């Protein structure tokens, strides 16, 4: 790998100390790089939020993201269409995805230069929202798609179908549809299972469900999931929304149908050959 593209979260790297350290290391190894220019970015646009994939050279070998897991997830959503491996330098808290610490930058560049890495393909989800039978919104996620309240603290009712077969009527705060990558995020906090990130499955986890017998359900990644928003039992304006990776929000209405499936796009995460998922999990759990 000879050419890199750098995405830096300037909120976390305020003085560009880590970005400068990375650039210095790339130069020392005689490697090419381009740095994302934030000028003119269309934040909040449909096509991308922070990084415009069309501005990345086609011969780029790797994208280096400086920030936390959230920064890497947003980059993955913006750049899934160009299928370039991503590696993260962690300036956040957990660092499940952004595995490299700032003091390990030079080691990271050396390992990449010596092909001492592996690339993991992580599945993504596509979520389509239908109103009166018409598609009104669609988006992708790397971690999860969450249907939840966006207003007062009252439960919402919704029906869930899998492959067009009725699964359950939930009365809950919401429901999480998670990828294996997202299993250690909101899914974990809601009591869902931790899943090996390379697995080809989808997890459904209700949030504070009022049915005591409700549990998470693990499905094949080929499953098609449908959620129908039921009428508010209190006849009040109990607002509900669909969240993509906790970043993009779309307000839902009674009768809306959400269809969720494995995306045709995926995220390729570069992992250095030094820590297994079990070791990372052990460190984070302790």
Query: How do residues 82-122 score in pLDDT, each as one tens digit?
Result: 999 999 999 977 677 888 999 999 999 999 999 999 999 99
Q: What is the DSSP string of 100-113?
A: B-GGGHHHHHHHHH
Dihedral pair phi/psi, residue 115, rounded to 5°:
55, 30
Under the banding of pLDDT at 50, 70 and 90, the label for residue 155 is confident
Pairing state of beta strands 257-272 and 117-131?
antiparallel
Q: Helix, strand, or coil here: 88?
A: strand
Mean pLDDT, residues 151-172: 89
Under the banding of pLDDT at 50, 70 and 90, the label for residue 177 is very high
Residue partners of 201: CB distance under 8 A and separation at least 6: 180, 195, 218, 219, 220, 221
DSSP state of 96: S
Residue 70 corresponds to which tokens in the numbers above? 């959230």
pLDDT at position 45, please?
46
pLDDT at position 284, please?
67
Q: What is the pLDDT of residues 24-80, one digit of tens each?
A: 999 999 999 999 876 545 554 446 778 999 999 999 999 999 999 999 999 999 999
Q: What is the pLDDT of residues 251-265, one digit of tens each?
A: 999 999 999 999 999
Q: Using an 8 Å Cβ cutoff, are 263 and 221 in contact?
A: no
Q: Using an 8 Å Cβ cutoff, are 79 and 54 in contact?
A: no
Residue with the larger pLDDT of the pair 62 and 285 = 62
Q: What's the rounded Cα separation, in Å, for the pair 141 and 279?
A: 26
Q: What is the DSSP string of 135-150?
A: EEEEEEESSEEEEEES
Q: Helix, strand, or coil here: 156?
A: strand
Pairing state of beta strands 257-272 and 248-252?
unpaired
Q: Exactly one of 13, 59, 61, 69 is catalytic; which is it?
A: 69
| Active-site residue flag, 15 | no
Whole-number average pLDDT of the chain: 89
Neighbours of 122 (CB within 10 A): 20
Residue partners of 27: CB distance under 8 A and separation at least 6: none
Residue partners of 15: CB distance under 8 A and separation at least 6: none
CA distances from 48 to 43, 51, 250, 251 (A): 7, 6, 16, 19
pTM: 0.90
The tokens 């969720």 sit on which residue?
Answer: 260
Q: What is the pLDDT of residues 182-214, one digit of tens each?
A: 999 999 999 999 999 889 999 999 998 887 767
pLDDT higher than 60, residue 130: yes
């Amino acid at each position: 790998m000879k050419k890199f593209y750098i995405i830096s979260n300037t909120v976390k790297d305020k003085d560009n100390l880590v970005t400068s350290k990375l650039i210095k290391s790339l130069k020392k190894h005689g490697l090419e790089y381009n740095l994302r220019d934030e000028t003119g970015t269309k934040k909040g646009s449909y096509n991308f939020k922070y990084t415009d994939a069309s501005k990345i050279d086609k011969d780029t070998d790797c994208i280096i993201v400086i920030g936390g897991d959230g920064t890497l997830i947003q980059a993955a959503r913006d750049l899934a269409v160009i299928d370039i491996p991503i590696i993260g330098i962690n300036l956040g808290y957990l660092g499940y995805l952004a595995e490299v610490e700032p003091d390990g930058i030079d080691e990271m560049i050396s390992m990449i230069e010596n092909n001492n890495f592996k690339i993991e393909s992580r599945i993504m989800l596509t979520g389509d929202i239908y109103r009166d039978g018409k598609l009104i919104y669609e988006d992708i996620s790397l971690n999860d798609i969450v249907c939840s309240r966006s207003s007062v603290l009252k439960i919402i009712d919704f029906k869930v179908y899998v492959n067009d077969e009725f699964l359950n009527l939930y009365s809950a705060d919401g429901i999480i549809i998670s990828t294996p990558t997202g299993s250690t995020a909101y899914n974990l906090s809601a009591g869902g299972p931790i899943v090996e990130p390379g697995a080809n499955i989808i997890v459904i986890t209700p949030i504070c469900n009022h049915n005591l017998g409700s549990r998470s359900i693990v499905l094949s990644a080929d499953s098609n999931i449908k959620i129908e928003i039921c009428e508010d039992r209190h006849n009040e304006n109990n607002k509900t929304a669909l969240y993509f990776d906790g970043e993009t929000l779309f307000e839902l209405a009674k009768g809306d149908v959400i269809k969720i499936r494995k995306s045709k796009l995926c995220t390729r995460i570069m992992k250095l050959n030094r820590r297994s998922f079990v070791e990372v999990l052990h460190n984070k759990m302790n």
